[in-house]
Amino acid sequence: MISVSVAMATYNGQKFIREQLDSLVAQHHLPSELVITDDASSDKTVAIAEQFATDAPFPVHIHRYGTRLGYRANFMRAASFCTSDLIAFCDQDDVWSPRKLALCVKPFRNPAVLLAYHNAEVVTEAGERLGSLDYLASAPMTPPLSLCPIGWNTPSALGFTEVFRRSILKFSDLRELSLDYNDLRAPMAYDQWVFFIASVFGHIVYIGNALASYRQHGSNRFGWYPPLGFFSNFPYLLDDPIGRLDALRQASQRCAEILEKTRHYLTDTWQQHATMGAARYRFLADLYAARKRLYTSAVLAERVKAFHRISSTSGYRPKRSWGLGRKALVRDLCLDVPAGHLLRSDQA
């Protein structure tokens, strides 16, 4: 049987943690261990976990710290203590379906699979359904470098839906070099990082079953917002993209630099994936730089050149294919950019 550790990072979670812990006991495929790293909680979170550990059907390792690291580093710390072949991130306030681990470990019979993630129901504090995470779905299985997790609303995974091979952690020392494109002052979040590494070096499996209840309440570190579909283009057309484009460029460039560093201690196929991944992220950084020039240059010829740079390299292809996507094209065609003139010239 494939072993799987559960990595739970906690902070002042006394209100919901017991229900989550009980859902771990109800798993059809029991975890081989539960690792809890508590980030200086001031409530009864640790006491509840310790009481649970006394009769849990698997080992529970609790690490309590007096100085806060924040959720990003605390989840990575929890994963670092895990010893199983697979690791499942676990929030303190959700509820897992009994089938979650059983379904999530199956794809790893294929040694090329590095990560699996699943759909989830979004629920209120009382358990009433709000929606689902199916808008984050990808193909059932995607090969290396077929997904790009950098950009607006690109396919990715929330941490509590991820199960991944522990071998991914050999890259953990490089995470501090990464940049979160939502906040350039911080490295990638734990789930962003794991998804990034898995998407470069291995296959990713998506499971369409809703295997957890993602609870929304007043203390969520990050909340859920329902997707707006194509009509989200309209507010997108009105905001200022320049700072956002520069953040995406910097984050993509840093991904390329990280992958170039990994090549020095990788061999064979993994080294090839690192080389190809670095090239793709540099290409993506160049697209974001060109699009920023398209909006910032006061010289018409430079703006024409920037648009041509993007369109001639198929830069507006879908984001899942390492492009800027249709929303970018809609915006660039609608605003004061000579794209319409170029398209008419091409058709003449």
Domain ranges of the chain: 4-215, 232-347
| Confidence band of 343 (pLDDT split at 50, 70, 90) | very low
Q: Are 101 and 33 in contact (CB under 8 A)?
A: no
State the pTM of this model.
0.90
Supply the pLDDT for residue 288. Answer: 95
For residue 347, the model assigns a pLDDT of 35
The answer to whether residue 7 scores a pLDDT higher than 80 is: yes
Q: Which percentage of the chain shows pLDDT scores above 90?
A: 73
CA–CA separation, 155 and 322 (whole Å)? 11
Tell me the CATH number of domain 4-215, given options 3.40.50.720, 3.40.50.1860, 3.90.550.10, 3.40.50.620. Answer: 3.90.550.10
Using CA atoms, how far apart are residues 295 and 97, in angstroms rounded to an integer? 47
Share of the chain above pLDDT 70, in %: 88
Q: Among 12, 95, 22, 13, which Cα is nearest to 60's?
A: 22
Q: What is the mean pLDDT of residues 112-135?
A: 95
Q: What are the tens digits of pLDDT across the range 155-205?
A: 689 999 999 999 999 999 999 999 999 999 999 999 999 999 999 999 999
- Residue 227 is predicted with a pLDDT of 58
Q: Which residues of 25-48 are buried (b: 16+ CB within 10 A; e: fewer)?
A: eebebbbbbbbbbbbebeebbbeb
Residue of 63, 64, 85, 74 lying closest to 5 (CA atoms)? 85
Q: Structure tokens of 55?
A: 């009769």
At 163 the three-state DSSP class reads: strand
DSSP label at residue 184: T
One-letter amino acid at 244 equals R
> Is residue 298 exposed (0-12), middle (13-18) or buried (19+ Cβ within 10 Å)?
exposed
Q: In the predicted model, what is the mean pLDDT of the chain?
A: 89
> Does residue 34 register a pLDDT over 80?
yes
pLDDT digits (tens, 9 = 90+) for 297-320: 888 888 889 998 999 999 999 887
Q: 317: closest CA among 198, 105, 126, 151?
A: 151
What pLDDT is recorded for position 303?
85
Q: What does the alpha-carbon distance between residue 325 and residue 105 come to, in Å, rounded to a whole number? A: 33
The radius of gyration of the chain's CA atoms, rounded to the nearest angstrom, is 22
Ranking 74-83, 201-210, 259-268 by mean pLDDT, the lowest is 259-268
Can you say how many angstroms the Cα of residue 299 is from the centroid of all Cα atoms in its chain? 38
Q: What is the pLDDT of residue 342?
A: 41
Place of tokens 């995406």: 248
**What does the block give as tokens for 245?**
């484009």
- Contact (CB, 8 A) for 164 and 114: yes
Q: Which pLDDT tens digit goes with each residue over 272-300?
A: 999 999 999 999 999 999 999 988 888 88
Q: Is 131 exposed, middle or buried (0-12, 13-18, 19+ CB in 10 A)?
A: middle
Q: Tell me the residue type at 1.
A: M
